[in-house]
Structure 1
């Protein structure tokens, strides 16, 4: 199932590249899935890590995901798929609101995704400095608000001791990038 999800994501994201870096897009979902795998998450959640951007950024639908990977994986992907018809602010507020009340698995998926995005940005900052913020739809202050808001709510309805290590890594990355 994991190999199938990785191959599906590779096919779906074929030809896509990451903003700013030009690296193949598949690097991102692969790292998200690896973070979830290293944390000992279920195979369904790891599959969702591979697939989390497929519906948002390709022509595939949640129905396609459910048909190939089942309802549980499709539900996880759906919970973290942004509606591109909404403004950046509305989409990010929706993610923050989701983090506040989400199940453990959905929180894990969101934080693994945001962690990889933030680590990629941090890496780019080493060569581009503040110019990196021009790669995004929203600048430094908006990004700071978003990532700090996610961090401030990621433990809502979750005991800190039960959170995987990558939650702490996320908190540390937010502090490094935005202070």
Structure 2
């Protein structure tokens, strides 16, 4: 299942690049899936890591994910797919609310994604400086609010033994990037 998800994502994101670095887009979902796999999560969650941006950023629909990978993977991808008809602020508030109240597997997927995004921002900031923020729909202050809100809410409802190491890494990265 994981290999099939990786190949599906590679095909879906073919020709796409990352906003600030210009790297092939697929490098991001691969890193998200690898982080989930390293943390010992299920094949379904790792597969959702590969597929988490497919519905949001390609012509594929959630029904395609369900047909190919089943209801569980589709549920995870759907829970993490933004509605692009909403404003940036509305989309990000929805993600913050989701990470606060969702099932733990959804939290694990969202934070793995947000950590990889933030590590990319940190790396690109060292190369581009403040000009980096011009690549995004929202600038430094809004990105700070968003990432700090994810960090504040991501562990809600989780026991200490249910919090993966990369949640701490996310908190530390938020502190490094946003002070």
Q: Which residue of 2 aligns with 1:173?
A: 173
1:98-177 correspondence to structure 2 within 5 Å: 98-177=98-177
The structural deviation recorded for 1:160 is: 3.0
Q: Any gaps of 5 or more consecutive residues in structure 1?
A: none
Q: Which residue of 2 aligns with 1:3?
A: 3
Q: Any gaps of 5 or more consecutive residues in structure 2?
A: none
The structural deviation recorded for 1:110 is: 0.2
List structure 1 segments (4+ residues) > 4 angstroms apart after TM superposition: none
Alignment of 1:84 with 2:88, yes or no, is no
Please give the alpha-carbon distance, in whole angstroms, between the structure 2 residues aligned to 1:54 and 1:86.
18
Please give the alpha-carbon distance, in whole angstroms, between the structure 1 residues aligned to 2:52 and 2:115.
14
Root-mean-square deviation over aligned CA pairs: 0.6
Alignment of 1:39 with 2:39, yes or no, is yes
The structural deviation recorded for 1:131 is: 1.1
Offset from partner CA, 1:44-82 (integer Å, 9 cap, x none): 000000000000000000000000000000000000000
Q: Which residue of 2 aligns with 1:74?
A: 74
